[in-house]
Amino acid sequence: MISQDKISIPGLGKSVSRVALGTWAIGGWMWGGPDDDNAIRTIHSALDEGIDLIDTAPVYGFGHSEEVIGRALEGRRDKVVIATKVGLNWKDEKPFRDSSPARIRQEVEDSLRRLKTDYLDIYQVHWPDDKTPVAETASVLAELVKEGKVRTLGVSNYSVAQIETFRQHAPLSVLQPPYNLFERDIEKDILPYMVGHKLVGLGYGPLCRGLLAGKMTAETTFPATDLRSGDPKFQAPRFKQYLAAVEQLRALADKHGKSVMVLAIRWVLDQGPLIALWGARKPAQIEGVADVFGWHLSEADRAEIDRILKTTITDPVGPEFMAPPNR
């Protein structure tokens, strides 16, 4: 049970756990299909562990993740902060960016219905839409806040320039970038901006699509329906490089009596005002959350991590492959 290490999100009026449940895999799309019974048990296990923030999106299973969460939270809605997203449309299960005011108005009603709630705690633009001015997107979201349908706003995958433009037209509380030991581009600008403007980060992919869970081997393969079958990190020769890094990180984690998964999450939390989105679709995948809290990595630990990454990963690659196309 999580008993410590919470963070306050501006405008929300409450503190939340610094580990949140990420629910992309629960939607099934790109993760081998849904398993609703396990998904609901996973959500309940997360609540039992003290996780009180659940992050989702309409595109996760094209509404399915939100529907499952709505079912799982019946009778518990007031105990949980729900963060969902807006700004992706799809045709024939192929997503594309669409943050137009009309799309946002449609999406918010769809999300409220699927989640069985009359308000959203955190509403985040999933990806910037080159076809819609940021000012238009921000302005309609500001209207949703005034109408009480949304409590706080966030943006995901935005540049600093786009964030600045957004904030001229609507209040902003949360940034959601990709962030993990292997994908650290936000340290150049997004993370310093977050700290400087007292925003909270929801770091997605803290276990890097399972790489940092520490359970993969060189023989691990993925079906065509799995996101990782098209992820450059999981292709030769890079896959072996990343696995080698995980093995050395495991040795460091062992010194603390922790798993490599817990070390990876603790590292994210030690980097700034961040919440780590712990993705899971089975109750067993929640095990270990409590081990994240009550300790910190030392400067020597962080230096050793940097050394490991530099010496094992000679051909690093980011998460760019996941970006959906514009309209």
Q: What amino acid positions are annotated as catalytic residues?
A: 60
Residue keyed to tokens 């949703």: 144
φ/ψ (deg, to 5) at 304:
-65, -40
Is it true that the peptide bond before 325 is cis, omega within 30 degrees of 0?
no
Q: Which residues of 264-279 are buried (b: 16+ CB within 10 A; e: fewer)?
A: bbbbbbebbbbbbbbb
Q: How many whole angstroms separate alpha carbon 311 and alpha carbon 264?
A: 18
Secondary structure class of 217 (helix, strand, coil)? coil
Cα maximum dimension of the chain: 53
- 8 A C-beta contact, residue 166 and residue 138: yes
DSSP code string of 120-165: EEEEEE-S--TTS-HHHHHHHHHHHHHHTSEEEEEEES--HHHHHH
- Whether the CB-CB separation of 58 and 123 falls below 8 Å is answered with no
Going 57 to 206 to 246 to 319, the CA torsion angle's sign is positive
Q: Are 246 and 256 in contact (CB under 8 A)?
A: no
- CA dist 21 and 251 (Å) reads 27
Q: Which residues pair with 97 in a beta bridge?
A: 88
